[in-house]
Structure 1
Amino acid sequence: MAGRGKKQKASEPSEIQDNHASTSSNGTIRKGSPRRNQRAPTSGEQSENIFLFWPNIIGYTRIVLAVASLYYMPLHPRTCSLLYSISCLLDALDGYAARFYNQSTTFGAVLDMVTDRCTTACLLVFLSSAWPRWAILFQGLISLDLASHYMHMYATLSMGESGQSHKKVDSSRSWILYQYYNNKIVLFVFCTMNELFFIGLYLLSFSSPTLSPSLLQPTPDGATAGSAQPGSPALAPISALFASPWSAGALELARANKMDSFWPWVITGIAAPVMAAKQFINIVQMVKASKWLAEGDIIRRRQLGLSKTR
């Protein structure tokens, strides 16, 4: 036992040194990988199943609801909006569960961000097909959202200290991002309003002749025109889409034809300024992440002796 104790003490300094090297270099870059320095659980220890943590289970539920909303998206605007909204609201619940059960994990943070990006992108893809003339705008929003968050998370995980989260932003790097990520109310309001704006546009594609003029296009015989074009599904002849006019899909289509555009306009109008501010934050986030990654490149080049003095 005494010999074993000496061997353990002799190994402690090197282990501490390795862990220190993996944490930071000049407070900026990690020298080693945390995975390489973390001790694997022994046979006597019970390994935790990260995938079954409560926040991650909530994340899986969000994915299921989001997929269900995509299924109903072309022809069932009310059902789709309900499922999509619940999926978005659960985004706040998984963060609360992570803090309550002390189950904050890197996997959960990445799962949460990927789910947000994918669901928003899918909704914007539908809007692109609903209004082809504005497709380039929606495609630009998708690209900005994905690029900004990917670069921010990559910079945080590669440049930050071990266990760093993409939501832990130092005020010295960006005051705007610090306020955005560290104030839970601000983060919730911005994310919620951003999604509400696109949900409002989605509902307007079914109800507003102003945005979808095809809703009022007459046919030669004076009846309402029919089109299977997404964004004007209320115009599609029910007989062209459903064999039975009394099927659930046909009835939902008939209800969509009677949808009032007042509340979708209210939702879209209220959420529009916050959505615009959210896109500005995405730009700031992408620029700051680019500069952070460039700082790391400069330091690495100096360490390798590749930098040239001018």
Structure 2
Amino acid sequence: MSARTRRQKAALGCLPPSKSTKRTPSKKRSRSSLKEEDEKENIFLFAPNLIGYFRVVLAFASLYYMPLHPRTCSLLYSVSCLLDALDGYAARYFNQSTTFGAVLDMVTDRCTTSCLIVFLSSAWPRWAIVFQGLICLDLASHYMHMYATLSMGGSDQSHKKVDSSRSWILYQYYHSRVVLFICCALNELFFIGLYLLSFSSPILSPSLLQPVGDAQPSSVQPGNPANPVPSSLFASPWSAGALEMARANKIDSFWPWVITGISAPVMLFKQFVNVVQMVNASRWLAEGDRRTRRANRKK
């Protein structure tokens, strides 16, 4: 055998295995390992979802303190709203964006806002129909928008991904995170301002001017902290609830008026966006119905 032949055989023996024989087992191993990882993933324990659970806890705590503790309630409610931006950042940072997290976030927002507006309805019964209309608009708009997005855009479509061809206003609203955060934050701030005014403004709550006498009123109306007498609700006049209720009459209404006045235009814009969102979702659903009817007629 010549030296050239021996060198060729040696070179052939040192050649690495073919690409097909090398990649096939690794592909199988990678797919199986990825499948195992997917099965072990606990969506409910993702970082943004944990933040969402904490928001729910803070929201319930704020509801507990809402009738008698305006300062504590406002603080807890505000922190819960601010965490709404943090869970979105965590979802992007850890690559843990999920449909469950998006629904949890939306449901938490709608429920907390509705509960606060319900309190305002009880504080000012004359304006109850306005507050009830705001609740209905908020719930109907977001439900129809999410349902239209999932049914028409696909199960993996986010409700925040709006095509500019469908609605320029919604595209600008959802496309910019800064605009979305400012609108949502000031919208909540408006209702917080109204909530504080129910404890501090005699103009909106005339009962704050009524003297606290020995006579006990027949009913307790939330939002009118001057009535009833704190001792009629709490056994000890030095209890935390009685002290906070007494302090409620001394809340300065200057800053609540400033907060409400600054955030009012943004709140009105947010309601306009809700109307546009509901109309756009209705048209999108009707478009899907027309497609379905045409397909059924062709069969």
TM bracket, shorter-chain basis: 0.7 to 0.9
Alignment partner of 1:250 out of 235, 242, 247: 242
The answer to whether residue 106 in structure 2 is matched with residue 98 in structure 1 is no
Q: Distance in 2 between matches of 1:236 and 1:142?
A: 29
2:51 and 2:83 in contact (8 A); partners too: yes
Distance 1:69 1:56, change over 3 A: same
Match of 1:71 among 64, 85, 108: 64
Query: Aligned equivalents of 1:199 and 1:173: distance in 2?
Result: 33
The question of whether the paired residues in 1 share the 8 Å contact of 2:152 and 2:288 is answered with: yes
Identify the residue that residue 201 of structure 2 maps to in structure 1. 208
In structure 2, relative to structure 1, the CA distance for the partners of 1:288 and 1:214 (3 Å cut) is same
Given candidates 161, 183, 187, the residue that maps to 2:154 is: 161
Which has the greater radius of gyration? 2
Q: Conserved in 1, the CA contact under 8 Å of 2:216 and 2:232?
A: no
The alpha-carbon deviation at position 216 of structure 1 amounts to: 1.1
Which deviates the most, 119-128 or 42-51? 42-51
2:260 alignment partner in structure 1: 268
* Residue 234 of structure 1: how far off its partner (Å): 2.7
Quick one: distance in 1 between partners of 2:277 and 2:152?
A: 15
Name 1:233's counterpart in structure 2. Answer: 225
Compared CA separation, residues 199 and 45, structure 1 to 2 (3 A): closer
Q: Which residue of 2 aligns with 1:294?
A: 286
Query: Aligned to 2:297, what secondary structure does the other structure show?
Result: coil
What SS class does the counterpart of residue 243 from structure 2 fall into?
A: helix
C-alpha RMSD over aligned residues: 2.2
2:79 aligned partner: 86
How many pairs does the alignment contain?
268
| 2:285 partner amino acid | L
The more displaced of 114-123 and 43-52 is 43-52
Return structure 1 stretches of 4+ with deviation > 6 angstroms. Answer: none
SS of the equivalent of 2:226 reads: helix
Q: Which has the higher helix share?
A: 2
| CA pair 80-194 structure 1, distance change in 2 beyond 3 A | same
Asked whether the 8 Å contact 2:186–2:263 carries over to 1, the reply is: yes
Structure 2: unaligned runs, 5 residues or longer: 1-20, 22-31
Unaligned residue ranges in structure 1 (runs of 5+): 6-38
AA matched with 1:160: G
8 Å CA contact retained: 1:217, 1:225: no
Matched, 1:188 2:181: yes
Instruction: Measure how far apart 1:306 and its partner are.
Output: 7.3
CA displacement 1:39-91 (0-9 Å, x = unmatched):
9x856864311100000000000000000000000000000000000000000
Change (3 A) 1:300 1:258: same
TM-score, reference length from structure 2: 0.85
Amino acid at match of 1:80: C
Partners of 1:46 and 1:272 in 2: CA distance: 48
1:277 to 262, 269, 273: 269
TM-aligned CA deviation for residue 214 of structure 1: 1.2
Cα displacement (A) at 1:239: 1.3
Confirm whether residue 176 of structure 1 aligns to residue 172 of structure 2.
Answer: no
Which of 127, 151, 168 is the aligned partner of 1:134? Answer: 127
TM-score under structure 1 length normalisation: 0.82
The 2-side partners of 1:217 and 1:236 are apart by 11
Percentage of pairs with the same residue: 77
1:218 Cα deviation after fit: 4.5
CA distance in 2, matches of 1:129, 1:113: 25
Partners of 1:305 and 1:110 in 2: CA distance: 35
In structure 2, what is the Cα distance between the partners aligned to 1:265 and 1:66? 24
